Amino acid sequence: MLNKDINNELKKIIVKNSRLKTSVANISDNSDLINDFGYDSVSLIELIVNIEQTFNITFNYDMLSIDIISNFKNLCDCIKTTLKNS
């Protein structure tokens, strides 16, 4: 999967799991899922489960700190690393 495709797919998943209304166009590298899109602990769990199912990966949970999960670019990099290692 191309990096661009991963970015786009992740944006779609973020929009789908956000409790608050948002759109793909609102998401940038610096987006903070908690502060910008109202993600909370519950929606973050749903997001992680959805990412694992969509990309067919299992995260190394030691990698998943709140700082990683809540920042778009960090989360994207985390998916890329996991895909690379799988």
Partner 1 sequence: MLIKDILLRQKSNDNLAVTFGKEKLTYRQLFEFVQKNADKLKIYASNSHNIGLLLPNSSNYIIGLFTILFLDKAAVPLEASIKKSELKNIINYCDINLIITDTKHKKLLTDVENINIFDIETNTLEINSQSCIKCDLQTHFDDVTMLMHTSGSSDKPKRVMLTNRNIISNIEANIEALNIKENDKTLISLPMYFSYCNTAQLLSHMYVGAQIVILDTIFLPHIFFSIVEKEKITNFMTVPTIIKTLLNYSNQKTIQSLKWISIGGAPIDNETFKKLIESFKDIEFIKTYGLTEASPRVSTLLSKDCRTKTASIGKPMKGIEVKIILENGNEAKEYEKGELSLKGDNVMKGYYKNTQETAKTIKDGWLHTGDIGYYDEEGFIYLSGRKKNIIISNGINIYPEEIEDVLMSHHAVEQAYVYGILNETYGEIPEAKIVIKKETAISDMELLQYCREKLSDYKIPAKIIFVDKLQYTNNMKIKRTESLNVK
- Using CB under 8 A, list all residues that contact partner 1: 19-21, 38, 40-46, 48-49, 59, 61, 64-66, 69
CB atoms within 10 A of CB 83: 13
Provide the minimum distance between the beta carbon of 67 and partner 1 in the complex, in angstroms, as a whole number: 10
Nearer to partner 1, 2 or 30 (CB): 30
38: left (phi over 0), alpha (psi -120 to 50) or beta: left
Integer Cα distance of 33 and 27 in angstroms: 9
Nearer to partner 1, 3 or 19 (CB): 19
